[in-house]
Amino acid sequence: MTQELDFENWSRRAAEWGVRYRASLRERPVRAQTTPGEIAAKLPASPPERGETMDTIFADFERVILPGMTHWQHPRFFAYFPANAAPVSVVAEYLVTAMAAQCMLWQTSPAATELETRVLDWLRQAIGLPEGFAGVIQDSASSATLSAVLVMRERALGWKGNKAGLVANPRLRIYASDQVHSSIDRAVWVSGIGEENLVRIPATGKRRGMDAAALSAAIERDKRAGHVPAGVIACTGGTNVGACDDIAEVVRTAHGHGLYVHVDAAWAGSAMICEEFRHLWAGIEEADSVVFNPHKWLGAQFDCSAHFIRSPDDLVRTLAIHPEYLNTHGRDGLINYSEWTVPLGRRFRALKLWFLLRFHGLEGLRAMIRNHVAWSERLAARLKAEPDFEIVTEPALSLFSFRHTDAEDLDAHNLDLARRINDDGRLYLTQSRVDGKVVIRFQAGQFETTEEDVNTAFEVITKLARSSL
């Protein structure tokens, strides 16, 4: 026998809790302040035999779980990249959660499919991609990149890879700079192409883009060795310091050799709603596919990754499978988006984008991104003006890296500084390495961040850096 939930009461309480939670964020430490195992120790080792009351469960959520959360929607979250969930997209997600539809085929929710087609075309226009790119929502940029690598593989193998496997074939080769995200490595592993066939092209210059001459030379060397070059993965806004390949040059080189080009702009792509930043990916209109994450900077609650493809037929040819029960009889030509993605099941992800774009309008979203970039540049300039700080990489959009230079062992000192900042709780930053040295990364991108929050970052960073001396 199972008890009945007072769904109305608990839905209301959950929503009210969410409102209070968001309003309280500034008073909370950004990163969870717990030690490993602390939360696990508070959880019973065996499952409950008898149902418990919602009051007990909810109280435990606040007592046990909440202290172990890192607050990604905190206005002083300056770590990694943002994973914004604008309040309006949260509201849309409540509705999606309540309907809980599987949106794998047109017929399993026509509205989900048709809305996805429309809002992705809005996004295409918003970021300045030409007509002809078709969009699909993937669960993550990693999945979009995996799909792109699978297309590269199938194209290069004359569409025989899915059937025959890779055993009898020569080595396929994929090219990327040394600045790309680890999801590229994993796409190459999972596709069966293998890490040894991911050719790293050195990144050069101020923007740390791949050297096109080196790319061309690598492709030719591989052809002479009997390998089969399959594709290039370029990046706009690399994770570490925001590296940007010269897309026009990479595409020209790759297409000259007949290779497919996928561009990973997971973070920086959102900024392309502002025309003044599009020079960072000049030439994008010639790429074969592009991914960016509206679930990062733009404010669509995770997960929501926008994948644009110039030839969706190649993607469908690579990923579609046709068991009889999945056919939409008599409706040929309608889009079944599960044929565009690796997983079959799909959440209704377009609704939050629709709510978000309509509520804030592109103007509202542009204003937010422009503020983040301006505040970040201002903070970098302020730190640079301090005699004991060094800007290691200049702002790429709203991302820069710095280090405190007044210590003997700079690497140890800056690692310790990042740890002390995060333990303090007012900010959350990420440490990293650039050209072998430890740096601290800063990015502004949270939906509710204000200039005051960025000023607080300056105070906390300078004070804690100097307090250890």
Q: List residues binding ligand PLP (CB under 6 A).
A: 81, 140-142, 181, 183, 235, 237-239, 264, 266-267, 293, 305
Smallest separation (angstroms) from ligand PLP to the CB of 58? 30
Burial of 225 (0-12, 13-18, 19+ CB in 10 A): exposed
Q: Please give the Cα distance from 70 to 47 (Å, whole number).
A: 26
Smallest separation (angstroms) from ligand PLP to the CB of 144? 8
Closer Cβ to ligand PLP, 184 or 383, answer by number: 184
Smallest separation (angstroms) from ligand PLP to the CB of 189? 14
Smallest separation (angstroms) from ligand PLP to the CB of 143? 7
Radius of gyration of the chain (CA): 24
Smallest separation (angstroms) from ligand PLP to the CB of 184? 8
Closer Cβ to ligand PLP, 141 or 369, answer by number: 141
Smallest separation (angstroms) from ligand PLP to the CB of 80? 8
Closer Cβ to ligand PLP, 81 or 355, answer by number: 81
b/e burial code for range 82-112 (CB count within 10 A of at least 16 → b): bbbbbbbbbbbbeebeeeeeebbbbebbeeb
Q: Count CB atoms within 10 A of the CB of residue 43.
A: 9
Contact 177, 237 (CB under 8 A): no
Closer Cβ to ligand PLP, 239 or 422, answer by number: 239
Task: Quickly list DSSP for 404-415.
Answer: E--SSSHHHHHH
Q: Please give the Cα distance from 346 to 138 (Å, whole number).
A: 9
For residue 445, the one-letter residue type is G
Smallest separation (angstroms) from ligand PLP to the CB of 445? 11
Structure tokens at 42: 């508070």
Closer Cβ to ligand PLP, 30 or 306, answer by number: 306
Closer Cβ to ligand PLP, 235 or 440, answer by number: 235
Among 260, 258, 259, 278, smallest CA distance to 268 is for 278
Closer Cβ to ligand PLP, 88 or 290, answer by number: 290
Closer Cβ to ligand PLP, 236 or 253, answer by number: 236
Smallest separation (angstroms) from ligand PLP to the CB of 139? 8
Q: Please give the Cα distance from 87 to 89 (Å, whole number).
A: 5
> What is the separation of C-alpha 158 from the centre of its chain, rounded to a whole number of angstroms?
31
